[in-house]
């Protein structure tokens, strides 16, 4: 069954060389072939699949889903979850603000992910699911206790006693030192296996790394917008700092919210807020790159098929 879930993708890059994302696409999904397709996040002991599923769009009615969330979209999200697991993609990333009332969502993304995990484990108790979620640095939150309180609320929504990765979603207006302390406390209390940040600049990344290092806790990752058409992490020092410090860069929107899939054309641009970004003119200018991606994909598929018979 062909399935498209907008924006539900991210990639993990570990080390100085980005290289190619080696995956075999089948009706919109990638297949992770072996255990070697897992990477360790930074200096932590946590290993995750190189490809992951981002749950930003799940339950959301403020940016995704044409401002609607209904039964059909619910079934599509559940099918995407199950199909991902069936194909070896076990890393799922969500956040407390995805699909939340604060963002005018229909249902919280964490709640949906927790429900999907519970239902899957009832059928397959041994299934592996690696969960990452994020703390929102809202202006009224202060200190390390706010991180622990938010994490416990996230765990309640997910129906889990701990998560593999907990991240600061963005740098706060104030209180950032306390938030880093809160990440360390979460590790020491056994609520998370690894901690990371998201949307952090080079300077903030280095500060977070040093503060956690003093407690003997590695900063595992920095999750940033990074794709073939958005390469700012290469220009602003973020990727270089990650490489230097041994922090894994997790790229969100690596397919540019669907623009790099070929699904959208100048005659068929995305709807909703994305349509104001990926306009008909933008997609027209993007077409040569899409043609090249398609060509490379076809050549890779031919090579992979041939190697099966050698």
Provide DSSP, 56-123.
TTTT--SSSGGG---HHHHHHHHHHHHHHHHTT--EEE--TTTT-GGGT-SS-HHHHHHHHHHHHHHH
Residue 199 pLDDT exceeds 60: yes
**Who has greater pLDDT, 265 or 297?**
265
> Please, what is the end-to-end C-alpha distance for the chain in angstroms?
30
pLDDT of 24: 28
**Who has greater pLDDT, 215 or 104?**
215
Which CATH superfamily, name and number, covers 38-254?
Answer: NADP-dependent oxidoreductase domain (3.20.20.100)
Burial readout 63-99 (b: 16 or more C-beta within 10 A, e: otherwise) = bbbeeebeeebbebbbebbbbbbebbbbbbbbbbbbb
Residue 7 pLDDT exceeds 50: no
Q: Give CA 50 to chain center in angstroms.
A: 11
Active-site residue (options: 98, 166, 226, 278): 98
| pLDDT classification of 93: cutoffs 50, 70, 90 | very high
Give residue limits of the domains in the chain. 38-254, 257-309
Q: Which residues contact 309 (CB under 8 A, 6 or more apart)?
A: none
Based on the residue annotation, tell me whether 98 is a catalytic residue of this protein: yes
Three-point CA angle 93, 97, 99, nearest 5°: 85
As a whole number, mean pLDDT of residues 129-144 equals 96
Residue 10 pLDDT exceeds 80: no
Strand-pair partners of 39: 48
Q: What number of helices (H) and strands (E) belong to the chain?
A: 9, 12
Residue 3 pLDDT exceeds 50: no
Q: Which helix (H) or strand (E) holds 179?
A: helix 176-188
CA dist., res. 94 & res. 218, Å (int) = 21
Structure tokens at 160: 């889990």
Mean pLDDT for the chain overall: 87
pLDDT of 103: 61
pTM for the full model? 0.87
Using the 8-state DSSP alphabet, how is residue 255 labeled? T
**Residue 200: CB atoms within 10 Å:** 27
| pLDDT classification of 28: cutoffs 50, 70, 90 | very low
């Amino acid at each position: 069954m062909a399935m498209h879930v907008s924006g539900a993708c991210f990639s993990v890059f570990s080390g100085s060389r980005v290289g190619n994302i080696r995956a075999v696409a089948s009706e919109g999904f990638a297949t992770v072939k072996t255990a070697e397709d897992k990477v360790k996040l930074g200096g932590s002991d946590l290993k995750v699949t190189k490809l992951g599923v981002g749950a930003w769009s799940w339950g959301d009615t403020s940016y995704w889903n044409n401002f609607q969330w209904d039964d059909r979209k619910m079934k599509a999200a559940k099918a995407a979850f199950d199909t991902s697991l069936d194909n070896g993609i076990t890393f799922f990333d969500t956040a407390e603000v995805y699909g939340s009332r604060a963002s005018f969502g229909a249902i919280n993304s964490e709640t949906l992910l927790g429900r999907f995990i519970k239902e899957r484990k009832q059928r397959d108790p041994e299934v592996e699911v690696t969960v990452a979620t994020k703390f929102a640095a809202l202006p009224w939150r202060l200190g390390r206790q706010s991180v622990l309180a938010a994490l416990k609320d996230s765990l309640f929504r997910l129906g889990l006693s701990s998560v593999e990765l907990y991240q600061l979603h963005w740098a706060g207006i104030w209180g950032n030192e306390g938030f880093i302390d809160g990440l360390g406390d979460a590790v020491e209390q056994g609520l998370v296996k690894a901690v990371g940040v998201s949307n952090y600049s080079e300077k903030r990344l280095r500060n977070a790394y040093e503060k956690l290092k003093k407690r003997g806790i590695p900063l595992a990752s920095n999750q940033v917008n990074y794709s073939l058409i958005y390469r700012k992490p290469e220009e602003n020092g973020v990727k270089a700092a990650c490489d230097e410090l041994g922090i894994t860069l997790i790229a969100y929107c690596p397919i540019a919210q669907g623009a790099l899939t070929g699904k959208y054309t100048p005659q068929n641009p995305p709807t909703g807020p994305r349509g104001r970004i990926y306009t008909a003119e933008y997609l027209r200018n993007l077409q040569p790159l899409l043609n090249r991606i398609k060509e490379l994909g076809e050549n890779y598929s031919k090579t992979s098929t041939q190697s099966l018979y050698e």
